Amino acid sequence: MPAFPPLVPLPTSLLTVDDGPFLLTARTPLTADPDAAAAARRILSAATAQTLDLPVDARPASPALTLAHASDIGAGGAYRLVAADTGVEISAADAVGLAAGLHTLSQLLRPAADGWAVPAVRIEDAPRFAHRGLMLDVARHFFPVADVCAVIDRAASLKLTHLHLHLTDDQGWRLHLRSHPSLTAAGGGSAIGGGPGGFYTREDYQEIVAYAAARHLTVVPEIDLPGHTHAVGLAYPRLAADPVVTPDLAAEAAGRGEALPVAGEPYTGLGVGFSSLRLDDEATFEFVADVLGELAHLTPGPYLHVGGDEAFGTDPDQYDAFLSRVTQLVADLGKVPVTWHDAGRADLAPETVGQYWGLTTPDAESADAARAFVRRASGVILSPADAVYLDMKYDHDTPRGLTWANGPTSVRRAYEWDPASIIEGIADDDIVGVEAAVWTETIEDLAGLDTMMFPRLAAVAEAAWSAPLGFSPDRTWESFRQRVGGLAPLWRRQGIAFHADGEIPWAGA
């Protein structure tokens, strides 16, 4: 066995035990409650690419896999895993911790003559941040329910806890609402590059939410306001201001051979910042109240994300007043409002969480906007674009992706940053969590998502779960590249079309 098993994210502690390996087979007894047993069968079957219908046995006569609830372990994902030739026991205070332990067990599995070998180890583990997320943009290109569920499984395997769905943008409105069905009828049939678009029915959305919940992920829906709203104008022209076409936007569109945005016509380009709702009309706020009220009813999780970024076509004073009203509306609906950090300048509802999307070396304006959420004591989610925006190219030769976030983002750059070192005055206690983002201007299918997310999503997961960078000899780039390379056989079995980056020594390559 290598110096450290290929475990990502890095656990809090791991000790090798002087004992033989445990052998997992389809006949291995399973001691667990019904829900934990079902999770074990699902997770381990996916990890081995074979059906492991492990028989439940409360008093096994042979080495068993035991999932036990333990009062001496903290809640929220912490677990203990002890493996020896006599059995494997995963202990946790809750189902979240047991699932985390099962995902670690999946990474430990190695093919053996009669099954799957698990090395003798003792692992104690707990997360650094409670919120460990992935944002998926389904607005620029639409992804069917099956693809979203596949992304959920991938996120869960790395112990992530939140799926942030970017449901609306200039190129499309992706959630059908009973209160305003024209949003999808008129605004759901387009995508970047002229693709067919698409949208989720209410039942589709509820299926995604339930699928995520079964894997201990919370869905965070985003309706981006008041910018990124060109698609609203296709259904309700009265509510949308005319596009603000700046010389820079015109030059960028010409360079890409794209048409400029035109009021009332679907927009299929990559430009941003030109659209806005009409904020001088009370009908706009009534519309927003309807939309967010229905979304709150459909969403059992605590968060509603209301965007607030890149509203260049909006009057600053009207922007501030609008975000103040909208975040208070969300709070009155019983949800925690989330905005991009741009909104930090406004007088927001005090519960509002900010999501920072600036660079790892922030400019003064972005840093101060992020600190505004700390001053309110609501905290920030960190998504530094030049580290965790997974739609950035790996290098200049990568076929997909963009480079605006400080050039390409290598796997090493995605790994070598620490959340508490980004913004002066923002430390661990101020950080709600860490969230990767995958925007889909250049990504059209699940294979494309896989290639751009993996292996960089593993680097982000480690930043969110594990101790700070450099805390131990194994919380380093050199250790990570060895560990993540060892996950290649598992990822292949799971059907993940990862990018075989040259920085990584891939097992089985």
Tokens of 373: 């959420």
H-type alpha helices, 389-476: 411-415, 446-453, 456-465
DSSP 227-278: SS-HHHHHH-GGGBPPP---HHHHHHHHHHT-PPP-TTS---S---S---B-
Residues of the chain with pLDDT > 90, as a percent, come to 97
Q: What is the mean pLDDT of residues 143-159?
A: 98
CB within 8 A of 403, min separation 6: which ones? 392, 393, 396
Residues of the chain with pLDDT > 70, as a percent, come to 99
pLDDT at 2: 46
User: Which residue, among 466, 480, 483, has the nearest Cα to 2 in the 3D structure?
Assistant: 483
Residue 20: pLDDT band (50, 70, 90) is confident
User: Which residue, among 333, 387, 335, 393, has the nearest Cα to 360 in the 3D structure?
Assistant: 387
Q: Is the predicted pLDDT of residue 83 greater than 50, yes or no?
A: yes
pLDDT at 425: 96
- CATH architecture, range 13-125: 2-Layer Sandwich (3.30)
pLDDT at 212: 98
d(CA 494, CA 49): 7
* Average per-residue pLDDT for the chain: 97
For 324-363, the pLDDT digits (tens) are 999 999 999 999 999 999 999 999 999 999 999 999 999 9
CATH code, residues 131-493: 3.20.20.80
In this structure, the number of other CB atoms found within 10 A of the CB of residue 410 comes to 18
pLDDT at 432: 98
Please give the positions annotated as active site: 310
User: Exposed, middle or buried by CB within 10 Å (0-12, 13-18, 19+), for 194?
Assistant: exposed
User: Which residue, among 154, 302, 303, 281, has the nearest Cα to 226 in the 3D structure?
Assistant: 281
CB within 8 A of 148, min separation 6: which ones? 136, 138, 163, 165, 208
Q: Is the predicted pLDDT of residue 42 greater than 90, yes or no?
A: yes
Query: Do residues 158 and 8 lie in contact, with contact meaning Cβ atoms separated by under 8 Å?
Result: yes
Query: Do residues 456 and 418 lie in contact, with contact meaning Cβ atoms separated by under 8 Å?
Result: no
For 234-278, the pLDDT digits (tens) are 999 999 999 999 999 999 999 999 999 999 999 999 999 999 999
d(CA 173, CA 182): 10
Q: Is the predicted pLDDT of residue 509 greater than 70, yes or no?
A: no
Query: Do residues 53 and 43 lie in contact, with contact meaning Cβ atoms separated by under 8 Å?
Result: no
d(CA 261, CA 277): 15
Q: Is the predicted pLDDT of residue 456 greater than 90, yes or no?
A: yes
Q: What is the mean pLDDT of residues 365-381?
A: 96
Q: At what angle do helices 202-214 and 145-157 cross, to 10 degrees?
A: 20
User: Which residue, among 267, 257, 249, has the nearest Cα to 310 in the 3D structure?
Assistant: 249
Separation of CA 448 from chain center = 16
User: Exposed, middle or buried by CB within 10 Å (0-12, 13-18, 19+), for 114?
Assistant: exposed
Tokens of 328: 């208070």
For 295-314, the pLDDT digits (tens) are 999 999 999 999 999 999 89
Q: Is the predicted pLDDT of residue 145 greater than 60, yes or no?
A: yes
Q: What is the mean pLDDT of residues 204-231?
A: 98
Domains of the chain: which residue ranges? 13-125, 131-493
Q: Is the predicted pLDDT of residue 112 greater than 70, yes or no?
A: yes
CB under 8 Å, gap of 24 or more: what pairs does 455-458 form? 455/411, 455/484, 455/487, 455/498, 455/499, 455/501, 455/504, 456/388, 456/390, 456/394, 456/409, 456/411, 456/414, 457/134, 457/154, 457/155, 457/158, 457/390, 458/8, 458/9, 458/158, 458/484, 458/487
Q: What is the mean pLDDT of residues 11-31?
A: 94
Q: Is the predicted pLDDT of residue 1 greater than 50, yes or no?
A: no
pLDDT at 17: 87
In DSSP terms, 88 is beta-bridged to 65, 83
Residue 10: pLDDT band (50, 70, 90) is very high
Cα R_g (the chain), whole angstroms: 23
pLDDT at 3: 58
Q: What are phi and psi of 14, to 5 degrees?
A: -145, 130
